[in-house]
Structure 1
Amino acid sequence: MSGHRLLTGKVVIATHNPGKLAEMRELLAPFGVEAVSAAELSLPEPDETGTMFSENAALKAIAAAEAADLPAFADDSGLCVDALDGAPGLFSARWAGPDKDFSGAMARIERELAARGATNRRAHFVSALVVAWPDGHIETFEGRVFGELVEPRGTQGFGYDPMFRPDGHDRTFGEISSDEKHGVNWTTGTALSHRARAFVLLAQACLRRPGGVHTGQPASR
Structure 2
Amino acid sequence: MKLVLASSNHGKLEELRDLLSGEGIELVAQTDLGVDDAEETGATFVENALLKARHATRLTGLPALADDSGICVDVLHGAPGLYSARYAGEHGNASRNIDKLLEVLQGVPDAARGAHFYCVLVLLRHADDPQPLIVEGQWNGRILHGRRGDGGHGYDPVFFDPQKGQSAAEMDLQLKNTISHRGQALALLRGRLGQALRGC
After superposition, the CA RMSD in angstroms is: 1.5
Structure 1 residue ranges, 4+ long, deviating more than 4 angstroms after superposition: none
TM-score, normalised to structure 1, is 0.82
- Percent identical residues: 41
Q: Of 73, 78, 87, which aligns to 1:81? A: 73
User: For 1:126, what is the secondary structure of its paired residue?
Assistant: strand
On the 8 A contact 2:86/2:93 being kept in 1, the answer is no
On the 8 A contact 1:50/1:56 being kept in 2, the answer is yes
Q: CA deviation at 1:96?
A: 4.5
User: For 1:92, what is the secondary structure of its paired residue?
Assistant: helix
CA distance in 1, matches of 2:108, 2:150: 27
> Residue 126 in 1 paired to residue 113 in 2?
no
CA distance in 2, matches of 1:96, 1:40: 27
On the 8 A contact 2:19/2:186 being kept in 1, the answer is yes
> Residue 106 in 1 paired to residue 107 in 2?
no
CA distance in 1, matches of 2:191, 2:167: 28
On the 8 A contact 1:31/1:207 being kept in 2, the answer is no
**Counterpart residue number, 1:217:** none
The structure in which a higher percent of residues are helix is 2
Aligned length in residues: 190
* Letter of the 1:15 counterpart: S
Q: Of 168, 173, 182, which aligns to 1:195? A: 182
**Counterpart residue number, 1:94:** 86
Cα-to-partner distance string for 1:78-130 (whole Å, 9 max, x where unaligned): 0000011111000000115436332221121122123xx53310000000000
On the 8 A contact 1:62/1:133 being kept in 2, the answer is no
* Letter of the 2:153 counterpart: F
Structure 1 unaligned spans of 5+ = 1-8, 183-190, 209-221
> Residue 35 in 1 paired to residue 22 in 2?
no
On the 8 A contact 2:85/2:91 being kept in 1, the answer is no
* Letter of the 1:92 counterpart: S
On the 8 A contact 2:2/2:27 being kept in 1, the answer is yes
Q: CA deviation at 1:42?
A: 1.2
Structure 2 unaligned spans of 5+ = 196-200
